[in-house]
């Protein structure tokens, strides 16, 4: 297993895919050897000097704690790290949509975490252990860190990260749902989490079947009318980002607070929970025995 590079940068930067490519070596993807860091530092595009948010140290220390804490069950690290990464690296969605930031974080700052979390277990069909390249540089819902950040952003209920813990505790949920548009509607995201939390849906097939049914029903139902959300107020997020300058490290033991935005209207969530329950009971789910 690899360790961190000899040279870890002090500040986050942007690493374009074209520049990142030559560092994604076979040895790295097999977790045998990592680059030294010096050459990589030469090809990044820097972020503004005067912004405290780009300091690497708080993130580095978070991932090291995650590796230690979850050494026996690395999958569980997602639910712990997602809210804490989100509260540490305070971004607008515009900033978070820039894949170059995540590529830099994975490749320059914490390749050892990517390897620890995503190196495949040997199987009969694929005996060679390997890290999928998309965990370093890839779609937002697959890349090692951006998937956690986006899961936290899309599943948090205003400042409350508790739904994020639930969502990230179910690999199938974040794997299946993150890439679908339906989750852009906050009440839908909260209703899905409630169904997972109550145990109504659990397996990948159930979650996938339900999300297909929600999308299909969405062609005839306008969820924004059925279950309205509050308009976004940009103020609380801006303040929260500005406070990054003085914010202490996030607690390792209790959940941090997110931006002080309004929670999702409870009526809308409750209505969708009922609606989805009904959809789920009639949806065709692969592998589910039909009740006759």
Q: Tell me which residues touch another protein (CB under 8 A).
A: 16-19, 22, 42-43, 45, 92-94, 96-99, 138-142, 150, 153-154, 176, 179, 181, 183-185, 204-205, 208, 219-226, 229, 231-232, 234, 237-238
Q: Which is nearer to another protein, 12 or 40 (CB)?
A: 40
Q: Report the Cα–Cα distance between both ends of the chain, in Å, rounded.
A: 52
Instruction: Tell me the closest approach of the beta carbon of residue 140 to another protein, in angstroms.
Output: 8
Q: Which is nearer to another protein, 125 or 219 (CB)?
A: 219
Spacing of C-alpha 262 from chain mean position: 21
d(CA 187, CA 267): 9
Instruction: Tell me the closest approach of the beta carbon of residue 155 to another protein, in angstroms.
Output: 11
Could you tell me the two tokens for 218? 């969405």
* Torsion angle in degrees (nearest 10) through CA of 71, 75, 76, 77: 70
Q: Which is nearer to another protein, 42 or 253 (CB)?
A: 42
Q: Smallest Cα–Cα separation from 178: which of 231, 133, 142?
A: 142
Instruction: Tell me the closest approach of the beta carbon of residue 110 to another protein, in angstroms.
Output: 20
d(CA 107, CA 20): 8
List, in order, residues 6 or more apart from 2 with CB less than 8 Å away: 28, 31, 32, 33, 34, 111, 112, 115
Q: Which is nearer to another protein, 31 or 108 (CB)?
A: 108
Instruction: Tell me the closest approach of the beta carbon of residue 151 to another protein, in angstroms.
Output: 11
Per-residue burial over 95-104, b if 16 or more Cβ lie within 10 Å, else e, is ebeebbbbbb
Q: Which is nearer to another protein, 66 or 108 (CB)?
A: 108
Instruction: Tell me the closest approach of the beta carbon of residue 92 to another protein, in angstroms.
Output: 4
d(CA 165, CA 261): 18
Instruction: Tell me the closest approach of the beta carbon of residue 12 to another protein, in angstroms.
Output: 17
Alpha helix stretches (DSSP H) within 97-134: 99-104, 111-118
Q: Which is nearer to another protein, 34 or 154 (CB)?
A: 154
């Amino acid at each position: 297993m690899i360790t961190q590079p000899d040279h870890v940068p002090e500040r986050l930067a942007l690493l374009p895919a074209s520049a990142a490519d030559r560092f994604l070596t076979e040895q790295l993807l097999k977790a045998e050897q990592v680059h030294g860091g010096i050459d990589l530092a030469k090809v990044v595009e820097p972020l503004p000097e005067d912004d405290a948010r780009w300091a690497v140290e708080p993130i580095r220390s978070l991932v090291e704690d995650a590796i230690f804490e979850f050494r026996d069950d690395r999958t569980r690290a997602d639910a712990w790290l997602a809210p804490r990464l989100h509260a540490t690296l305070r971004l607008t969605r515009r900033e978070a949509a820039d894949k170059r930031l995540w590529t830099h974080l994975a490749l320059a700052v914490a390749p050892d975490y990517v390897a620890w979390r995503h190196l495949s277990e040997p199987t009969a069909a694929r005996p060679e252990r390997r890290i999928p390249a998309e965990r370093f540089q890839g779609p937002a819902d697959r890349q090692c860190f951006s998937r956690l950040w986006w899961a936290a952003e899309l599943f948090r209920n205003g400042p409350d990260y508790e739904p994020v813990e639930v969502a990230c505790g179910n690999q199938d949920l974040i794997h299946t749902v993150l890439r679908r548009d339906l989750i852009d509607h906050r009440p839908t995201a909260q209703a899905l989490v409630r169904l997972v939390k109550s145990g109504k849906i659990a397996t990948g097939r159930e979650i996938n079947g339900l999300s297909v049914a929600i999308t299909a029903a969405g062609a005839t139902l306008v969820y924004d009318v059925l279950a309205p959300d509050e308009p976004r107020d940009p103020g609380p997020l801006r303040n929260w980002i500005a406070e990054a300058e003085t914010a202490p490290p996030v607690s390792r033991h209790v959940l941090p607070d997110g931006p002080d935005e309004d929670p999702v209207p409870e009526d809308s969530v409750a209505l969708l929970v009922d609606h989805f329950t009904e959809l789920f009971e009639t949806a065709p789910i692969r592998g589910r025995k039909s009740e006759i």
